[in-house]
Amino acid sequence: MGNYYQKEIETMPQEQLRALQDQRLVAQVKHVWDNVPYYRKKMEEKGVTPADIQGVADLYKLPFLSKDDLREAYPYGLLAVPKKDCVRIHSTSGTTGKRVVAFYTQHDIDLWDDCCARAIVAAGGTSEDVCHIAYGFGLFTGGAGLNGGSHKVGCLTLPMSSGNTDRQLQFMEDLGSTILCCTPSYAAYLAESIHERGLQDRIHLKAGIFGAEAWSEDMRHDIENKLGIKAYDIYGLTETSGPGVAFECAEQTGMHINEDHFIAEIIDPDTGEVLPEGSKGELVFTAITKQAFPLLRYRTRDICVLTRKPCSCGRTHVKMSKPMGRSDDMLIIRGINVFPSQIETVLLQQGYTANYQIIVDRVNNSDTFEVLVEMNPEMFSDSLAKITAAEKELVSALKAMLGIAAKVKLVTPKSITRSEGKAVRVIDKRKI
Ligand code: DLL
């Protein structure tokens, strides 16, 4: 069965796993009740106390947490340990520009690294491998998470970060990278660059661990064929530590959720009702081992399906499908989370109206991102140079808010079609 990392836990019989979750959940609810007044108040409002939670079967009694709670409690309101016990912060964009901030103790980092190590091992990684990490390093969790996991597996780790394709390819060739970790769109771009430069014979990759954004089976096959590798999906979100909440094994029919650390539920996004296994709905996570930022019943807004069908790899942990969409309006463009409301905030701050349209497409496996903005009537007679300068200003303001570059086009007033119902702010042409 290959080289298993933490095999005992990953192949634990389901009843035993459930008992472990029961015990960890009870302790976690107490920890949160004792240390997070914000969540305690939510529990009190729902008339629930820790005594009501004896195990996973009682989970439904707890209140949900959402991105709005994170915004309300920003920055320290959900912290469950003294600040002095935290060693790291990661962050991602929030709904109106306020960032989501996640905190980690050293123990949290250690468990997170374990989760990422499992993903690397499931992709065939061993201490013989050279693990090339081209996810961004910094506030984004991708680089740090896979870096920690790679160390645990004992791979020779290359913390490349993203960008600078020439250097990526040079190191990949010179150092003999065997596992590539990055977003699927960057993997596709690297694959194309390798072909354009005729480097196929000098690259020795065998596997890729790609996630942080949606990617189709077609895209998987394209990357696999171009790079001569097996491409594995990996899932996670900043709020639950980062990548490694779930990962694919060689069967490639969904991602095993690390159930010793996270309890997964599927709910109806409209009513909040818990749905039976196999139903399509919103994924909700309860973190049962995290110390610093232990979110209970956190609504991910990702729509997917869970299955407990036995897997040929021997792992017993539940599998989630690839996310099939979102129950909110968040877009993921080149791996970055973008909310239309953030764009609106920038436009209003800069004196424009809220008449805009976001056009996203995928050309040559890379996302394009354009924002059409109606100019104000007084700008209509401005010179081309003045309009170009205004567009440039908007490009920088949007970049500062979103952390990603958009193409901005100022269009004539009233030229963006008005809708009779909800405004059509986003045209997403990507087929994923
Ligand atoms: O994207 C963490 C991550 C880094 C995952 C590297 C995998 C690899 P956030 O920036 O907080 O965290 O974005 C989380 O990204 O709710 C999903 O909507 C989406 N997402 C993450 N992984 C996948 C995936 C990281 N494999 C949000 N497929 C999540 C589709 C994904 N969507």
Indicate the pLDDT class of residue 4, thresholds 50, 70 and 90. Answer: low
237 CB within 6 A, ligand 1: yes
Tens of pLDDT, residues 298-325: 999 999 999 999 999 999 999 999 998 8
pTM equals 0.89
Detail the DSSP E strand segments found in 315-422: 319-320, 331-333, 336-338, 356-363, 366-374, 407-411
* Structure confidence at residue 419 as a pLDDT band (50, 70, 90): low
Testing ligand 1's pocket by substitution, the residue of 133, 141, 215 carrying the most ligand atoms inside 8 A of its CB is 141
Give 8-43 pLDDT, tens digit per residue: 999 999 999 999 999 999 999 999 999 999 999 999
pLDDT of residue 277: 94
- Residue 378 burial by CB count (10 A; 0-12/13-18/19+): exposed, middle or buried? exposed
Please name the residue whose Cα sits nearest to atom 1 of ligand 1: 212
Across 373-381, average pLDDT: 88
3-class secondary structure, 90: strand
Quote the mean pLDDT of the chain: 93
- The per-residue pLDDT for 2 is 42
Question: CATH classification of 331-431 is 3.30.300.30, yes or no?
Answer: yes
- Listed by start position, the domains of the chain span 1-325, 331-431
Nearest 5°: phi and psi at 173?
Answer: -75, -50
Q: Could you tell which of 180, 186, 235, 283 is best to mutate to test the pocket of ligand 1, judged by most ligand atoms within 8 Å of the CB?
A: 235
> pLDDT tens for residues 46-96?
999 999 999 999 999 999 999 999 999 999 999 999 999 999 999 986 666
Which of the four pLDDT bands, split at 50, 70 and 90, describes residue 257? very high
Provide the pLDDT confidence category of residue 364 given band limits of 50, 70 and 90. confident
Report residue 216 CA to chain centroid gap. Answer: 16
> Does the 1-325 domain belong in CATH 3.40.50.12780?
yes
CA 323 – ligand 1 centroid, Å? 9
Check pocket membership of 238 for ligand 1, CB cut-off 6 A: yes
Residue nearest to atom 15 of ligand 1 (CA): 212
State whether the beta carbon of 136 lies less than 6 angstroms from ligand 1: no
- On the question of pLDDT at 432 being above 90, the answer is no
How many other β-carbons are positioned within 10 Å of the β-carbon of residue 398? 24
Say yes or no: CB of residue 282 within 6 Å of ligand 1.
Answer: no
